[in-house]
Amino acid sequence: MGQGWSGLNACPTYAMMKSSLTARAAILTLLMLLVAACGATAVEIVPTARPTPTATVTDAPTRTPARNVTPTIPPTAMPMTATGGPSPTPLFGAASTDVATAPTQAGGSVSLNPNAPRIEFFTSDTNAAAPGSTVTLYWSTRGAREAVIYQMVRGVRNRLWNVGPDGSLPVQTSRNDRGSVDFVLSVGKGAEYVEQDLSVPLACPDTWFFQPPPEACPTGPAQDAQLIEEPFERGRMLYVSTSNQIFALFNDTLSPAWLVLDNKYDLASGQESDPSFSPPPGYYQPLRRLGFVWRGNDTVRNRLGLATQPEASYNGFTQATSSPSSSATPARTVYISSADGTVLQLLPQGDSWQIITPPKSN
């Protein structure tokens, strides 16, 4: 056995194996195991590098548009903000574009002082009030120790109350107030003051004596009046007992379009007309109140001409409305019943006058 082995890793030849058949069974078994082992290591395994996978390019299917396909408009780039990014989209829809009525800052600019006075709210206890009723004002401010409330009358600050920075104030309105009562809340001093307006609408307590009624509210209820009216060549004259005044209305397109004069006729005098004046046929001399003004006022006589009918006395109504005016006296529009059932409208300050025809009743 020593000649057939060159070491533990040497393999025996076939002759040696044949001559050793008579060896012990244990040696034969060992030789068989060695032969099996040598056979297993006879084939040399040479490792090879793993092949690199080759990507297979598959052509994507080409979409052939139909004849009626509308080309898609390329998307519009989102607007960029100052930070360089797209403008954020609100989660709950478009933002409201309503502008809240903010307090007025001095000089029209917003103060950069965080401690500057500001008004948190200025409101009232009612959405509409009746003239003569009480309106309670409520307000709250920050950064101020005191405040002032003004009531506006025809655009002028008429009444004022020095009040605290927050609280309530009852204000008694006037029975003659119309349209609305207006207030201003002011806080702060110097360059840092702020103001806020408040307007409380007023309900109209009276109705007009004719239809269709004007949009404005009358200054009071309609007044019963004894009226005297007479037509002239270029206008008419009216006497109104409630004011004891005489109105001369002209049709000559000159200004003023109408005049109002106080009645100074004395019934005790007994002179109803001028006996020396004889009007032409078809014309009349005005008498008593109207004649006293016509004879004594050259402007009225020359612009009106002669009376075309005798005067008519009747019972009717007068009513008026006032509109805002910069003057101390409010501008009044007067409505007077006419003898023919129409209504005469006299616009403020003699500007013009017109006839309002009420609708016919069925």
Along the 362 residues of the chain, how does pLDDT read in single tens digits?
A: 444 444 444 444 444 544 444 445 555 556 555 545 544 444 444 444 555 554 444 444 444 444 344 444 444 444 433 333 333 333 333 333 333 345 666 555 555 677 788 999 999 999 889 999 999 999 999 988 899 999 998 888 989 999 999 999 999 998 888 889 999 999 988 778 899 999 999 999 899 999 999 988 998 999 999 999 999 999 999 999 999 999 999 999 999 999 999 999 988 876 889 999 999 999 999 999 999 999 999 999 999 999 999 999 999 999 999 765 545 556 889 999 999 999 999 999 899 999 998 877 65
Q: How high is the pLDDT of residue 8?
A: 40
Go through the chain and tell me how many residues it has.
Answer: 362
Report the 10 Å Cβ neighbour count for 102.
11
Q: How high is the pLDDT of residue 93?
A: 36
Residue 228's nearest CA partner among 239, 244, 241, 237 is 239
CA 50 from chain center: how many Å? 79
- CA dist 69 to 63, 64, 72, 74, 75, Å? 12, 10, 9, 15, 18
Report the 10 Å Cβ neighbour count for 279.
11
Structure tokens at 92: 């709950």
Class of residue 175 by CB neighbours under 10 A (exposed 0-12, middle 13-18, buried 19+): exposed
Handedness of CA 351, 355, 359, 361 (dihedral sign): positive
What order of strands is seen across the sheet that includes strand 104-105?
104-105, 192-201, 180-189, 147-153, 156-163
Three-class SS state of 18: helix
- First-to-final CA distance of the chain: 152
- Which domains are seen in the chain, by residue range? 1-38 (no CATH), 114-201 (2.60.40.1930), 223-356 (no CATH)
- The pair phi, psi for residue 283, each rounded to 5°, is -125, 165
- Could you give the CA distance from residue 180 to residue 201 in angstroms, rounded to a whole number? 4
Q: Kindly report whether the global pTM for this prediction surpasses the value 0.85.
A: no
